[in-house]
């Protein structure tokens, strides 16, 4: 197998295409998105009240596991980012999203390294401030990730009606030489909204 074929196959695996109908990245993000702020909360509680002092160890390990889970999350995110055209509006959003996550990872590594030899992994004021910064930055990054999925459809249009709309849009753009204007009908189809007789209710399609 040529190197190019190997890289393509690896990218597809990281994107979840051979065995899933949606990206692996969106599954993994929940771990660091949870562990980083939880670690900060535990550290803050431990520093404010002696009865919560034991939580500083939990905060340390939450930060450590946040680092560990960030690695596969970043790798699968890179696989998604790789396919975004550089002239697409989503590229800048995705690049900013990745850069913010790198900042969070750097803070996490520093906090782990600086606390690893302290008694009970006690955080100092710098660790607490950086933990708060990491939580805020990660929240902003998560918001950008939501924009990538819901506004740009990154990784979403891989199945069902959403995939059909994507293919139709691509065909339209190829024949007209420009981006197809969004329509309410296309958005409803892409997100699985099913038309029903008058007086009924709309339901979400099973493909989403």
Evaluate if residue 32 carries a pLDDT over 80.
yes
Burial tier of 43 (Cβ tally within 10 Å: 0-12, 13-18, 19+): buried
| Inside any domain, residue 47 | yes
- Kindly state the tokens that stand for 8: 């393509």
The reply to whether 72 and 27 lie within a common domain is: yes
The reply to whether 71 and 142 lie within a common domain is: yes
Evaluate if residue 50 carries a pLDDT over 50.
yes
The reply to whether 58 and 123 lie within a common domain is: yes
pLDDT tens-digit profile of 97-120?
A: 999 999 999 999 999 999 999 998
The reply to whether 129 and 185 lie within a common domain is: no
- Phi-psi map region of 193: left, alpha, beta (phi>0 left; psi -120 to 50 alpha): beta
| Inside any domain, residue 155 | no
25, 73 contact by CB (below 8 A): yes
**pLDDT score, position 208:** 31
**Strand bridging mode 193-194 / 203-204:** antiparallel
The reply to whether 176 and 116 lie within a common domain is: no
**pLDDT score, position 177:** 78
| Inside any domain, residue 173 | yes
- pLDDT: which is higher, 189 or 119: 119
Of 54-63, 113-122, 171-180, minimum mean pLDDT range: 171-180
* Confidence class for position 25, pLDDT limits 50, 70, 90: confident
Average pLDDT over residues 128-137: 97
**Neighbouring-strand partners of residue 194:** 203
- pLDDT: which is higher, 144 or 23: 144
Question: Is-above-0.85 flag for pTM?
Answer: no
49, 84 contact by CB (below 8 A): no
* Residue 171: domain span: 160-204
The C-alpha atoms of residue 113 and residue 107 are separated, in whole angstroms, by 10
Residue 61: closest CA among 141, 103, 123: 123
Q: Mean pLDDT: which of 13-22, 137-146, 148-157, 197-206 is highest?
A: 137-146
Count Cβ neighbours within 10 Å for each residue of 7-32 and write b for 16 or more, e otherwise.
Answer: eeeebeebbbbeeeebbbbbebbebb
Average pLDDT over residues 73-84: 88
**pLDDT score, position 157:** 57
What DSSP character marks residue 200? S
Q: Say how many domains are in the chain.
A: 2
- Phi and psi at residue 154, in whole multiples of 5°? -65, 120
Evaluate if residue 173 carries a pLDDT over 90.
no
């Amino acid at each position: 197998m040529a190197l190019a074929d190997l890289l393509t196959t690896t990218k597809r695996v990281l994107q979840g295409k051979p065995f899933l109908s949606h990206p692996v990245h969106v599954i993994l993000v929940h771990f660091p998105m949870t562990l980083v702020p939880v670690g900060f909360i535990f550290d803050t509680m431990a520093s404010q009240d002696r009865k919560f002092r034991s939580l500083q160890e939990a905060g340390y390990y939450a930060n450590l596991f946040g680092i560990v889970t960030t690695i596969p999350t970043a790798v699968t995110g890179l696989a998604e980012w790789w396919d975004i055209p550089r002239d697409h509006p989503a590229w800048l959003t995705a690049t900013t999203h990745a850069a913010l996550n790198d900042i969070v990872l750097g803070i996490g590594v520093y906090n782990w390294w600086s606390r690893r030899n302290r008694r009970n992994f006690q955080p100092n004021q710098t660790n607490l401030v950086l933990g708060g910064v990491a939580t805020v930055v990660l929240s902003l990054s998560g918001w950008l990730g939501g924009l990538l999925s819901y506004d740009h459809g990154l990784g979403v249009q891989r199945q069902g009606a959403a995939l059909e709309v994507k293919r139709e849009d691509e065909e339209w753009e190829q024949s007209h030489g420009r981006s197809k204007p969004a329509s309410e009908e296309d958005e409803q189809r892409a997100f699985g909204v099913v038309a029903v007789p008058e007086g009924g209710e709309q339901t979400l399609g099973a493909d989403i």
